[in-house]
């Protein structure tokens, strides 16, 4: 093989992966916007009135219009660094996601989004060398309440 | 402002579910590039051209356009929310991007109650869920933990 995989030793690949551990980028603050909530709710087919109507949301005990949880992906893509310049392998695959949900995200909230790499390891499998990295994004509202944690696993092969 | 026909979800309680219960199948599709484009708009993310441009996808060695894994997972997460009803609280969700969904595939979202239990005075269900295509291939296996009200 003549791709970059052969040019980077396992030790170098391992060292690169370990260098990723820790915070990624700065914390970012972002407003939960009504239009964004509506677009995502319609996109995923969630027609619960709490995503569209403030009165309906308040009648159900919420502070205001509630964001559907898939809206986390808007903030994932617009507020965080999610690509890495791996010095080995040819392709990066989005393997899996783990979500923990806490306080609802409400229109008008200002979220603080922080990102960290929490795990990175090198594996050897049937298809050869495989890098596995797990990044964690934490979403906290302006009241200091944790809304959600999203852990994303990427594979590099 | 855009007029949306909303649907008030049904209220369901812990007592309405039992272990081994199959949940109603939710069907999406046939999936179209438009679904992916709408997702890209909702995420304000248009970077991965192979998600919406067949020429680029094939040039990258893919069989064609591949719909986003998080889109399919978000359909599945939404199905969980809808299965559980208006007063349920989604606690955890997990998904794997195991297979591809391409334009004109049909996505069947299936779920089952794996475990029903109480903990700390609260009532929970563990669910198994998945997205299958029209060939019966599981493209997105998942799981969820949901807290439910008692009757």
Q: Give the pLDDT confidence of A2-57 residue by residue, as tens digits.
A: 444 458 899 999 999 999 999 999 999 999 999 999 999 999 999 999 999 999 99
Cβ-based contacts of A36 with chain B (< 8 Å): 42
Q: Do A99 and B78 touch (CB under 8 A)?
A: no
CATH number at residue B139: 3.10.129.10
Closest by CA position to B110, among listed B145, B142, B68, B71: B142
Q: Distance (Å) from the C-alpha of residue A87 to the closest C-alpha of chain B? A: 19
Cβ-based contacts of B38 with chain A (< 8 Å): 42-43
Q: How far apart are CA A98 and CA A152, in angstroms?
A: 7
Q: Look at residue B84 and tell me if it is in a domain.
A: yes
Q: Look at residue B56 and tell me if it is in a domain.
A: no
Contacts of A35 (CB under 8 A, 6+ apart): none
Classify residue B32 as exposed, middle or buried by CB count within 10 Å of its CB (0-12, 13-18, 19+): middle
Domain count, chain B: 1
Q: Look at residue B141 and tell me if it is in a domain.
A: yes
Task: Give the containing element (helix H, strand E) for A31.
Answer: strand A28-31
Contact in structure between A66 and A130 (CB atoms under 8 Å): no
Q: How far apart are CA B95 and CA B124, in angstroms?
A: 19
Q: Give the pLDDT confidence of A93-141 residue by residue, as tens digits.
A: 999 999 999 999 999 999 999 999 999 999 998 878 999 999 999 999 9
Mutation target vs B (from A32, A36, A97; most B CBs, 10 A cutoff)? A97
Mutation target vs B (from A32, A73, A81; most B CBs, 10 A cutoff)? A73
Mutation target vs B (from A99, A149, A152; most B CBs, 10 A cutoff)? A99
Neighbours of A156 (CB within 10 A): 23
Q: How far apart are CA A29 and CA A79, in angstroms?
A: 8
Q: Give the pLDDT confidence of B9-35 residue by residue, as tens digits.
A: 999 999 999 999 999 999 999 999 999
Neighbours of A2 (CB within 10 A): 6
Q: How far apart are CA B109 and CA B73, in angstroms?
A: 10
Q: Do B45 and A77 touch (CB under 8 A)?
A: yes
Q: Look at residue B85 and tell me if it is in a domain.
A: yes
Cβ-based contacts of A76 with chain B (< 8 Å): 43, 70
The pair phi, psi for residue B40, each rounded to 5°, is -60, -40
Q: Look at residue B137 and tell me if it is in a domain.
A: yes
pLDDT at residue A1 above 50? Answer: no
Contact in structure between B132 and B142 (CB atoms under 8 Å): no
Q: How far apart are CA B95 and CA B127, in angstroms?
A: 12
The pair phi, psi for residue B73, each rounded to 5°, is -65, -35
On whether any CB of chain A is under 8 Å from the CB of B38, the answer is: yes
Q: For chain A, which domains are there? A: 4-156 (3.10.129.10)
Tell me the ipTM for this assembly: 0.95
Q: Give the pLDDT confidence of B58-72 residue by residue, as tens digits.
A: 998 899 999 999 999
Q: Look at residue B140 and tell me if it is in a domain.
A: yes
Which residues span the domain enclosing B93? 14-29+70-148
Q: Which of residues 104-123 of B touch A (CB under 8 A)?
A: none
Q: How far apart are CA B66 and CA B73, in angstroms?
A: 14
On whether any CB of chain A is under 8 Å from the CB of B5, the answer is: yes
Cβ-based contacts of B5 with chain A (< 8 Å): 47
Closest by CA position to B91, among listed A141, A99, A90: A99
Pick from A122-131, B17-26, B93-102, B139-148: least confident:
A122-131
Global pTM value: 0.95
Q: Look at residue B55 and tell me if it is in a domain.
A: no
Q: Do B39 and A74 touch (CB under 8 A)?
A: no
Contact in structure between A94 and B139 (CB atoms under 8 Å): no
| Amino acid B109: pLDDT | 98
Cβ-based contacts of B130 with chain A (< 8 Å): none
């Amino acid at each position: 093989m003549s791709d970059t995989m052969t040019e980077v030793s396992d030790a170098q690949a391992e060292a690169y992966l370990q260098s990723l551990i820790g915070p990624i980028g700065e914390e970012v603050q972002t407003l939960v916007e009504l239009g964004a909530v509506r677009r995502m709710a319609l996109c995923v087919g969630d027609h619960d009135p709490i995503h569209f109507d403030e009165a309906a949301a308040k009648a159900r005990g919420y502070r205001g219009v509630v964001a559907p949880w898939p809206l986390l992906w808007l903030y994932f893509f617009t507020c965080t660094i999610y690509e890495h310049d791996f010095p080995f392998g040819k392709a990066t695959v989005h393997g899996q996601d783990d979500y923990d949900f806490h306080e609802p995200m409400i229109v008008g909230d200002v979220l603080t989004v922080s990102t960290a790499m929490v795990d990175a390891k090198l594996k050897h499998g049937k298809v050869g060398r495989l890098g596995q990295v797990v990044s964690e994004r934490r979403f906290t509202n302006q009241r200091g309440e944790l809304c959600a944690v999203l852990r994303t696993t990427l594979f590099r092969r | 402002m855009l007029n949306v026909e909303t649907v008030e979800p049904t209220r369901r309680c812990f007592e309405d579910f039992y272990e081994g219960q199959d949940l109603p199948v939710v069907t999406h599709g046939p999936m179209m590039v438009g679904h992916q484009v709408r997702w890209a708009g909702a995420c304000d993310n248009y970077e991965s051209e192979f998600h919406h441009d067949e020429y680029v996808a094939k040039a990258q060695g893919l069989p064609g356009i591949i719909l986003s894994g998080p889109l399919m997972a978000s359909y599945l997460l939404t199905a969980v929310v809808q299965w559980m009803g208006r007063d349920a609280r989604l606690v955890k969700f997990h998904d794997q991007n195991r297979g591809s969904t391409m334009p004109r595939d049909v996505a069947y979202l299936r779920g089952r109650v794996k475990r029903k239990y109480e903990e700390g005075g609260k009532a929970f269900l563990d669910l198994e869920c998945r997205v299958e295509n029209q060939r019966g291939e599981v493209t997105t296996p998942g799981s969820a933990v949901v807290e439910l009200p008692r009757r």
